[in-house]
Amino acid sequence: MAVTLDAALAAAQEYQSRHPKCRLLSCENVDSIPFNGEYLSTSAINEQYPAARIHANTGRLVMAHAIDTGYSDTIRYGYTDADRTFFTFVDFVLDSGHSLLEVSLCDTADGYIAIIWAETDGTNRYIKYRKITATGVNVVPAVTGTIHTQSGGTSFLTGPFSILLADDSYLVVYGHQDGDSHYHLYIRTSSNLTSWSAESEIALTGLTDANRKANPYIIETLAGPIWLLFDYVQSIGPSGEELTNIYYVTSTDALATVSAPAALTAYTDYTARAEHPAMAQPSANQIYFIFNKMMASLHMDQDTDGWLASYCGIGDMHIDVATQKLYVTSVYMGAGSRALQGVAQIDLATWTIDKFWDNETAPGFPDYYFIGGTMWWDVSHNEGKWVAVCSEQGLFSVLNSETDTIQNYSFYDMSAYGVAKNITWEPWHGQTYGIERTWIDQATNRIYILLLHTYFWGSHMQVGWIDLTYGGPNYTFNTILTDDSIHEFLMAGIRGGYGGWWQIVPEEDLIVVSFKGGLLNTEGMVRLYTLSTGGIWKSYTTTLNPSFPKWGLTRGIYQNGIIAGSFAYTALYAQEDFRGLCLIDIATDIVTYDRPTWATVDDYGMYNFALTDTGEYIIGCNTYGVTLYDGTTWTLYNSDTVPGLIPDGRTEQFVNALSYNPTTGMIVAGAGTYYGTNATGFIMFSRYGYLKQSNYRLGTYTTGWSWAAATPLVTGYTDYGAAPAIDPDDGGLYAFWTSMYVTELSTKWDKQQPAFDLSSYILRGTNVTRTSRIDPTSGNWDSSLDFTASHGHLFDPSNDSSLLRQYLSRGRKITVQFGEAVSGISYWEPPRHFVVTDDPVMVYKKGDYPTVHVSAETPRRRWDQIHIVSTDTFSGVLPEEIIRTLLLDHAGIPNSQVSLGTWDNTITLDYQGVDTNLGEVVDQIAFRFGYAIRDGESGIIEAIKITDSAAVSRTYTDSTKVINGTPKSTDADFVNRWTVECEERSFIEIILPEELAAELMASHRWNTGTKSYVIYYTQGSKIYRNPRLEVVQSVTSLAFQLAGNCSETLLDISRLEGTPETWDTYCVIRVSSPDLTPAFIAALAGLVAAYFYPDWAPQAPSGVLPTYRVGSYLCAFFIFMALNILGSTGNFAYRIHGQPVSKVRRTVSASADDAESQTRMGQIIADTPMNDPLCGSAPECQTVANFLKMVGMAERKRWGCEKVADLRVEEGDTISLPHPFTGNALTVYLTDMKYIYQMPKIGDENGQFTQEVEGWRL
């Protein structure tokens, strides 16, 4: 498809005299707001209170902030050159012992800069000024002095903020308390900066005098009125918590009179509030209103975007400090099955869910966790990129978040759930074990597993490890220790869901296992093992050490020789004084107890533990909140101490699965411990108090100002106090703000920069080269950009002082446009997008001007680096739609950026890519249909048809534009037969020789009678036809033989009663044996009757006659009969044989011949058959073979030429131009394009705007 250009630009392509242009823009890949920011300095400490503005006279960007250099604070003033390319800093040190409070900058009427600041010497507070040049030099004679003084080194003083008014006078605003401890804002004015008026209170009607007003900020809007913004304490809660919002007033007389205050933020409770306003106006109808959003905590639960489960109980949680990602494992904690909900990855800087893994994602966890396995919480300790989840039934999985892969490990065969046994191990007692705990050690990439045989009368424990980096397919469980010396009731104290805890301490060669006691009055125990040998080192119980808690430690943590743990309080066993935190010194075995100072109770509800990077304990305490203990001081965090800490309306406590982020000082806590359906979600809060983040609302003026919703201006929740300035050239927003890293404060800065124009930096006499190429033999498309820029020192990414350093850094987006000046007007082709491949190449060398060489690549090249474990399963979907979906799912390219059209010969496909990459998948699908996919103009993803029969889109009738031309066939080969093979889409069945399909052994009792047995062939996983019954042992017994016949019958009825999925997977064996119930009843009746039938003893005169025992015999007969019936049990054994059915796809193929070549070469040169999984029939193979033949033949007839650039053509076009010698029309399908743009140096005529094109001669 030819490029559509503006008519004037298109016409200019025909001219012999050209006025070429090149525009290079450096852009951000994503919206620049929220700002990530760059440190202004990596050396200064405690930088804060930034102020910034553009110096009107020079256009320099100037800023100032406070730095703490020790005893005396310093104002560090920074300024750029007029083009705002790099910073230079000058320090102004305050008087000895003075501390800086706030800084403000304003222009002076005579073109200088005034620094106006507040400071304290511990006795008084002052507002002072100093006049300097824009480059930070004190004016001579010095102009400096004091505007305001108030007594009290710690008395309240807020501000100052100052501006130069349109009438060249100065206005400064600040606030302090009056004699009634009321808070007011004041102004002072000056006509010359040196003499100031008396302070004048600003009348803020409707606001409560006693409530604080602070952080005043003034802006003279482009429409004229002055706006004064400030934060105001709207209300104070019962615990002293403050609700602050931003208010503003307007004035047309320099704040002498002001409008009624109105709110710019509307926070209504104590969970969030606004402070420290600022404002910047880029245009008459647009304004940035910036403020600190103060939050007690951030919260996530099942309603958060990206959480794919309907429940959000927190099982385990850890922070990968290096990547600042939080990993949360969610387990259902309500009644019923303890099922896994999923694992989430949360970006801590933005508090958003990056990824979520469950059984429906790719990769995903096995279904077993969601439907069959018993999952517990607080069982898996995870570190770094590794996240383990485990089921008590012997299956665990480990997520590698870096590679986005999940490896399943199973101690037992769980094929029914799709996981075969793959752990090689020796069960200690040869019995069944359950996984109770896991512990991942990131340093060694090992996962330690605690297995328990859970039968109470003979419990024992086995601990070992598996190497997480081993590739499998089988994994060795290396047993470390076995222990069966612990009472059965106590061993249960380490079971998941019951209590207890364990810890692996590799650096101290230690395993700590805490068995929680209490079950049937069993004492608790902590036992220490040697990690390397598995030997028992020592144990703690109340019997061994009466100062150890009777019921052991419920939870705990070990560090530096101390076990710290929680325990159940008891007033018995002489332990009534054991309260608070139990601390065991394992060197001395001395057990001590520390009680939190924030309450005096017996049970502090201590539950879960975490450590800070400096070894402080973080403990979740039921009922009370989260406490931090540094060995001396107990600090409690709850809704009373940090109002709003618990999200509004939530009643559960967040004391479970604690994690600490040493980078930001944040604590993350999950909901618990009263498990159930209400215990969901987790919160993040700062150990230092409120979270602070600069937010902004964009104001738009139509008939009045309307304000967009507040959104973050910066990333991070300890980034605040933003000072804005507007770039006068492009309207971009500069911001300088304070960023807190642990307790260190630094100033960061950033700029909103949709595009930075690099065009004026293109080095004359060097090439700007843009190439693009279709590889017709693979369907791949590639493009690159190379250029050299001046001012290399400014683009040097290691030059911290340069404001331009990020514009050519690795990963930066570059757009390039060639164009033409026509009658003095510039016209441009559509932009092409690139990404800088590496940081620019430059060398500092004495005598050489520093230039940078930049190489950039098409964003499409990154597709090859996007690994895909498995794509979605596509069934009956067009290839264009499959590619569109893949680009959206795996590259995040929105639909609006994809325009693939409708392909020739398109058909629906069944497709799923596994263990591949995005580039490979896209090329494979597109090539199957003869297309290549490119990053087209304006970043639109397009499809190019690879063809030798496209219509000519551009005809050149003469050679006035052609510089040279040459025929080529250098990359061609002699192949003249192309074969494509595939498997047919439909299956055919193959019936194999008969084999044993199943066995049945059972028995029939005297009253079983006829019974049918459903026999599944090998658990139903195989299909058999023509089943045959082999009777190994028939059902029979004496009584059965006497009563009648026994029979066995095989019924092959699965196709009659089953669904297609179960056809031929089972048969029915009907076993008939006589039902002897009637005979048994008859025997019983006879027996009863026999009792009434006496023995016959005839009487004779002689008196001696034998007794005929008729009755006894009858009785004995019926007893014999009944017993035989009851003892009639017939065992039987059958084998079912059948013919297994295998479903296979036939392999079919098709070939295409270059008959002319075969004749000319005198031989058939066959290419290696191409196996195309996207074909499903011989005709489809033929289509692809024909395409390969076309490509192979065309590759032998290439043509290349160099010509004057024509922006109308692009690769994939077919052009016609005269042959240089014959003048006959030459039709060329373009596969390769290379633009060369070179603007010559002055006095040098080496310049050009040409293009090298190459393609197939058709």
Partner 1 sequence: MPVMTLGGQSFATDPKIQGSPDVPVRISASVETLTSVAFFSWGTTRIGKTFPILWDFLNETDFQKLVTLLNADAAVTFYTGVESITVQMLNVESSYIEDVYKSVTVAGGRKDVKVPLLIIGV
Q: Which residues bind partner 1 (CB under 8 A)?
A: 16-21, 764, 821, 958-965, 1203-1204, 1220, 1238-1243, 1245-1250
**Smallest separation (angstroms) from partner 1 to the CB of 1258:** 21
**Smallest separation (angstroms) from partner 1 to the CB of 746:** 33
Looking at residue 1111, what DSSP letter applies?
H
**Smallest separation (angstroms) from partner 1 to the CB of 1244:** 8
**Smallest separation (angstroms) from partner 1 to the CB of 1240:** 5
Of 960 and 1077, which CB lies nearer to partner 1 in the complex structure?
A: 960
Of 576 and 729, which CB lies nearer to partner 1 in the complex structure?
A: 729
What number of CA atoms fall less than 13 Å from residue 859's CA on the CB side? 21
Of 86 and 1066, which CB lies nearer to partner 1 in the complex structure?
A: 86
| Of 42, 1257, 32, 259, the residue nearest 754 (C-alpha) | 32
Tokens of 154: 């710690």
Of 608 and 1248, which CB lies nearer to partner 1 in the complex structure?
A: 1248
Question: How far apart, in Å, are the Cα atoms of 2 and each of 72, 222, 817, 942, 952?
Answer: 68, 47, 16, 13, 10
**Smallest separation (angstroms) from partner 1 to the CB of 785:** 20
Of 340 and 1201, which CB lies nearer to partner 1 in the complex structure?
A: 1201
Q: Using an 8 Å Cβ cutoff, are 245 and 266 in contact?
A: yes
Of 222 and 1236, which CB lies nearer to partner 1 in the complex structure?
A: 1236
Q: Using an 8 Å Cβ cutoff, are 606 and 620 in contact?
A: yes
Q: Using an 8 Å Cβ cutoff, are 697 and 708 in contact?
A: yes
**Smallest separation (angstroms) from partner 1 to the CB of 120:** 41
β-partners of residue 747 are 738
**Smallest separation (angstroms) from partner 1 to the CB of 705:** 41
Would you tell me how many other CB atoms lie within 10 Å of the CB of residue 633? 9
Determine the distance from the C-alpha atom of residue 927 to the mean position of all C-alpha atoms in its chain, rounded to a whole number.
32
**Smallest separation (angstroms) from partner 1 to the CB of 268:** 57
CA angle 217, 223, 225 (to 5 degrees): 45
What pairing do the DSSP bridges indicate for beta strands 954-955 and 1214-1218? parallel
Cis preceding-peptide flag for 673 (omega within 30 of 0): yes
Q: Using an 8 Å Cβ cutoff, are 620 and 636 in contact?
A: no
State the helix-helix crossing angle for 918-928 and 879-891, rounded to 10 degrees: 170
Question: How far apart, in Å, are the Cα atoms of 285 and each of 56, 227, 246, 278?
Answer: 21, 15, 21, 17
Tokens of 250: 């307007």
Q: State the sign of the Cα–Cα–Cα–Cα dihedral 520, 523, 529, 533.
A: negative
Q: Using an 8 Å Cβ cutoff, are 283 and 623 in contact?
A: no
**Smallest separation (angstroms) from partner 1 to the CB of 1245:** 5
Task: Name the residue with tokens 């003892």.
Answer: 1127
852: exposed, middle or buried (C-beta count within 10 Å: 0-12, 13-18, 19+)?
buried
Of 259 and 759, which CB lies nearer to partner 1 in the complex structure?
A: 759
Of 20 and 315, which CB lies nearer to partner 1 in the complex structure?
A: 20
**Smallest separation (angstroms) from partner 1 to the CB of 1202:** 9
853: exposed, middle or buried (C-beta count within 10 Å: 0-12, 13-18, 19+)?
middle
**Smallest separation (angstroms) from partner 1 to the CB of 15:** 9
Task: Name the residue with tokens 């007029």.
Answer: 82
CA angle 839, 842, 845 (to 5 degrees): 155
**Smallest separation (angstroms) from partner 1 to the CB of 812:** 26
- H/E element, 91: strand 87-93
Cis preceding-peptide flag for 506 (omega within 30 of 0): no
Question: How far apart, in Å, are the Cα atoms of 956 and each of 382, 720, 1224, 1225?
Answer: 67, 62, 11, 9
Of 177 and 759, which CB lies nearer to partner 1 in the complex structure?
A: 759
Of 702 and 1224, which CB lies nearer to partner 1 in the complex structure?
A: 1224
Cis preceding-peptide flag for 160 (omega within 30 of 0): yes
Of 754 and 1240, which CB lies nearer to partner 1 in the complex structure?
A: 1240
State the helix-helix crossing angle for 1077-1091 and 1110-1126, rounded to 10 degrees: 160
**Smallest separation (angstroms) from partner 1 to the CB of 1237:** 9
Tokens of 28: 């951000």
Of 1004 and 1203, which CB lies nearer to partner 1 in the complex structure?
A: 1203
**Smallest separation (angstroms) from partner 1 to the CB of 1218:** 9
Of 857 and 1202, which CB lies nearer to partner 1 in the complex structure?
A: 1202
Residue 667 to residue 683: CA distance in whole angstroms: 8
Residue 1061 to residue 1023: CA distance in whole angstroms: 10
Of 82 and 571, which CB lies nearer to partner 1 in the complex structure?
A: 82
Of 10 and 164, which CB lies nearer to partner 1 in the complex structure?
A: 10
Of 17 and 1102, which CB lies nearer to partner 1 in the complex structure?
A: 17
**Smallest separation (angstroms) from partner 1 to the CB of 758:** 16
**Smallest separation (angstroms) from partner 1 to the CB of 16:** 6
Residue 1123 to residue 860: CA distance in whole angstroms: 86
Question: Where does 844-894 have alpha helices with state H?
Answer: 879-891
Residue 174 to residue 148: CA distance in whole angstroms: 10
Of 653 and 790, which CB lies nearer to partner 1 in the complex structure?
A: 790
Tokens of 880: 């264009």
271: exposed, middle or buried (C-beta count within 10 Å: 0-12, 13-18, 19+)?
buried
Of 963 and 1014, which CB lies nearer to partner 1 in the complex structure?
A: 963
**Smallest separation (angstroms) from partner 1 to the CB of 1250:** 7
| Of 911, 888, 889, 908, the residue nearest 898 (C-alpha) | 888
Q: State the sign of the Cα–Cα–Cα–Cα dihedral 247, 249, 255, 259.
A: negative
**Smallest separation (angstroms) from partner 1 to the CB of 20:** 6
